[in-house]
Amino acid sequence: MEKPIILVTGGTGYIGSHTVVELQQSGFETVIVDNLSNSTLDVVDGITRITHTKPHFEQIDCLDGQGLSDVFKKYQNIKAVIHFAASKAVGESVHKPLLYYRNNLLSLLNLIETMMAHHAPHLVFSSSCTVYGQPDVLPVTEDAPVKPATSPYGNTKQIGEEIIGDAIHSGAPLQSILLRYFNPIGAHPSAEIGELPNGVPQNLVPFITQTAIGKRAQLSVFGNDYPTPDGSCIRDYINVVDLAKAHVVAIKRLLAGETGLVETFNIGTGRGLSVLELVNLFQQVTGVALPYRIVARRAGDIAQVWADPTKANTILGWKAETGIDDTLRSAWKWEQKQVIKKLRD
């Protein structure tokens, strides 16, 4: 029997590339669809070096419905899709809302319609803890109310979940697992792939590592007047490889027919760390001094959120396993490798 193929949109991106590695190491054949707007083709080489298997790659924008359809025609045994392709920066989304609504929602509509047309019934959706807004109770469970989003990015994740749920409840031949991530950080321990944003990083850890290596003059900490012990925001930082493994478990659950029509899982560690705690931990584990300054709060940020991952632990049998120290070391190793690579090139 032919092996099922897993289509990964945004598969050369940060989380997508780590997920392709885990899928291939679990015996799946993968097809990456990516427009390379925030990644490079070098990532495919990194995946290949880790897994000794080259993923199929198609440079297509998910806004191109015909292009997506052509991919399904070319690879006729696509049985499941993991949808990462989206614009993803909270702060940027506040300033460019229309870009975010177009990219994140039209791409999802195109994808669902294409999946239905080509009888690919299984979808894992890359959602976010931003759907909870500022939760009333911490840690936050999947039963917590979805609150009005504090950013257009967060809103696209809420609407994305609603689109999938509404399609399925209307009778569409689909099943979906919605994974609500907390804050992925770190890099593959091989340092073959990691987080490499184009331009100025929108996420904390690449900004930390770029500052530590001297690429940035100093780190900006957005606000020290939040209602938290040290005044900086608190987040649940999860190792990106642990996060990637959750997608493999979700795919296996869908393919085995073990899931309901739509299931939702928090993917986090269950532990909250403040921005300043993370900065201090990075300095401790690497021995590198990190210049930083406190600046004004950033639009769209909430004070604190961390996961209750009990549902994923029990139903999926998935658990975050990598400690924060090792995760920060992996991010630093990846950053150092980029500098060496630039010098060599």
Q: Which residues carry out catalysis?
A: 153
Helix (H) or strand (E) holding 221: strand 219-222
Residue 75 vs residues 22, 25, 56, 78, 230: alpha-carbon distances, Å? 20, 20, 10, 6, 52
CA 8 to chain centre: 12
Task: Determine the Cα–Cα distance for residues 250 and 247; give it in Å rounded to an integer.
Answer: 5
- Answer yes or no: are the C-beta atoms of 85 and 8 closer than 8 Å: no
Question: Can you name the residues that pair with 126 across neighbouring β-strands?
Answer: 179
| DSSP string for 29-81 | EEEEEE--SS--THHHHHHHHHHSSPPEEEE--TT-HHHHHHHHHHSTTEEEE
Q: Which residue type, as a one-letter code, is found at position 63? A: L
- Among residues 131, 124, 114, which one has the least CA distance to residue 83? 124
The C-alpha torsion from 182 through 241 and 56 to 168, rounded to 10°, is: -40
CA 227 to chain centre: 27
Task: Determine the Cα–Cα distance for residues 41 and 64; give it in Å rounded to an integer.
Answer: 19
- Among residues 190, 182, 181, which one has the least CA distance to residue 329? 190
Q: Kindly report the three-state secondary structure assignment for every residue of 258-271.
A: CCCCEEEEEECCCC
